[in-house]
Amino acid sequence: MSIAAIVKSFPFTSVVSAFSALILTAALAMPVAAQIAKPASYSPQKSGVAEAPVVGVIDVAKAIDQYPVYIKLRTAVDAKFAKYQEQLKAQMKQLQELQVSIQTMGEGVPERDEAEHQYKMGLQTRDFRRKYYNDLLAAEELRMMLEVYEDLDFAVAKVANKNGVALVLPKRDIPVSAVPIVDMQSREVQARVDAFQRRTVWFASAEIDLTGDVIKYMMTPLPERTSPERAPAQPKPDGNGASPIKKD
C-alpha cells in the first residue's frame, strides 16, 4: 500500500491550506532569486540584492514511500491485515457450510433450530471480529504514521538548516491521467478534483525541491527518540534562575 493514498487524508489539509495561502502571498512578493538556495560565494552586500528567507518544498508521499522504517512497518501492518482477512474468510466458509446444512434439514426438526441459532451467533461473531480487527489495524496504522511523520519532521528540519532554508512547504504532484476527462469514472474525477483543491504548492522549481536530500538523509538510521538530539526543548529559566511556571 502506497503512502500516496494515505497522505490524502492526513495532515496538510485545512490548516496547511489556510496557512500556505498567506505564506505563498508573501513568497510571491519576494525576489525569485532570493527564494532559491544561494551558492557559498553569494553575498547580498556585493550583489546589492536584499536577502530574503529561502523557501523549499518536499514531496511528502515520495519521501515516506522510500523511507526504510516506513517500508518495514508497512510490511508488518499489511501482513497482519492479510492474516485477519484469512481468519474472516475461514469463519465465513464455516458459516456458508452451516447454512447449506440448515437448508437440507426439514422444517420442525429440533436439530435445525439449534443449527439456525449457531448460524445467527456465528454472524454476530463475524461482525464483531471484523470491527475488532479493523479497529486494531486503524490504531496501529495511526501509531505507525505518527512515528514516520515525527522522523520526517526531524529529517526535514536537519536538511533545511543545512541548506539555509527558512520555510518548507509540502508539495503534491498530480500526474496527468492517460484517460481523457470525459472517459474517467466519477470516482476518479472526484479524487482528482479533491487533490487539486488540497494542493498547497502549484509549482516549484527543482532548485528548491528538498525531497531528494531528505530521502538521502533518511536512508541512514535516525537518532533515537530518547537521544539528546531529539529531546524536546526545555523551557529557559527566568532572570532568577527558575523555570517559568506554566499557566493554565
Q: How many CB atoms are closer than 10 A to CB 82?
A: 10
CATH of 3-34+52-224, one of 3.30.930.10, 3.30.910.20, 3.30.360.10, 3.30.70.520: 3.30.910.20
* pTM assigned to the model: 0.67
Give the tens place of pLDDT for each residue, 170-213: 998 898 999 999 999 999 999 999 999 999 999 999 999 999 99
With 60 as the cut, is the pLDDT of residue 113 above it? yes
Confidence of residue 243 (pLDDT cuts 50, 70, 90): low
pLDDT for the residue 11:
43
pLDDT for the residue 52:
73
222 against 37, higher pLDDT: 222
What phi, psi does 244 have (nearest 5°)?
A: -60, 145
Cβ proximity of 14 and 194 under 8 Å: no
pLDDT for the residue 9:
43
pLDDT for the residue 143:
96
Confidence of residue 241 (pLDDT cuts 50, 70, 90): low
Residues in the chain, how many? 248
Report the alpha-carbon distance of residue 128 to residue 143 in Å, rounded. Answer: 23
pLDDT for the residue 188:
95
Summarize the confidence of residues 77-81 as an average pLDDT. 95
pLDDT for the residue 238:
66
Confidence of residue 240 (pLDDT cuts 50, 70, 90): low
Report the alpha-carbon distance of residue 126 to residue 85 in Å, rounded. Answer: 11
Give me 210's grid cell: 528538498
Report the alpha-carbon distance of residue 146 to residue 142 in Å, rounded. Answer: 6
Give the tens place of pLDDT for each residue, 139-157: 999 999 999 999 999 999 9
Report the alpha-carbon distance of residue 140 to residue 149 in Å, rounded. Answer: 14
Spans of all domains in the chain: 3-34+52-224
